[in-house]
Amino acid sequence: MAAATHSAALTQLTYGVGRWGTGELVLRGARPVYHELPWPARVPSKVRHIDAEDIADRRPGDPAERYIKAFARYLSGRRVNFDPESFGLDELCDEMGMTDLERAIAHALAGVKWGERISYGELAARAGRPGAPRAAGAFCSSRCVIELLLPAHRVVRADGSLGEYGSRGIVYKQRLLALEGSA
């Protein structure tokens, strides 16, 4: 394994998952502060890259490997729910300078479980702000920096249509929902 890049206690690496491509993970200590799902066009890091297949049959050696194993399990279609306390959601909200509304949306989003699909309006209501579906949508599209841990792909439009999913688009969102049996 190559040395990791550390900057102000950050560890940045890429990881590969079979048919999905290469993802990116940034940790502050043992806590994820950024996660981008695998994408076929992403180039693996020359500093540290972990192939999920290489660690599949052994205990994780560090927090990065623990998260990568969980992401790989999810991407293979196995049920994975992430506990916001275990991945330090409150600390992330503090670091990002989230407003009270954004913090409430983040916590509500973290509570959307495997196979569940809710609307932006429902997400806003769960966050205690039923009149703020646009704020919920804006959060999902721009402030959701730890993909899967905050499952923005499970949030859809009020009419049930999938809506957007950032630069990856609707097909990627559909693929994630199909894994969960809710596409």
Q: What is the pLDDT of residues 72-111, one digit of tens each?
A: 999 999 999 899 999 999 999 999 999 999 999 999 999 9
Residue keyed to tokens 């306390």: 85
pLDDT digits (tens, 9 = 90+) for 10-34: 999 999 999 999 999 999 999 999 9
The predicted pLDDT at position 183 comes to: 61
Cα–Cα distances in Å, from 9 out to 28, 46, 48, 92, 94? 6, 19, 16, 14, 16
* pLDDT mean across residues, the chain: 91
The predicted pLDDT at position 135 comes to: 96
Task: Determine the Cα–Cα distance for residues 152 and 130; give it in Å rounded to an integer.
Answer: 18
The predicted pLDDT at position 41 comes to: 87
- In which band, very low, low, confident or very high, does the pLDDT at 8 lie, cut at 50, 70 and 90? low
Task: Give yes or no for residue 6 having a pLDDT over 50.
Answer: no
Closest CA to 25 of 56, 70, 58, 57: 70
Task: Give yes or no for residue 124 having a pLDDT over 90.
Answer: yes
Per-residue pLDDT, averaged over 155-171, amounts to 89
Per-residue pLDDT, averaged over 137-147, amounts to 90
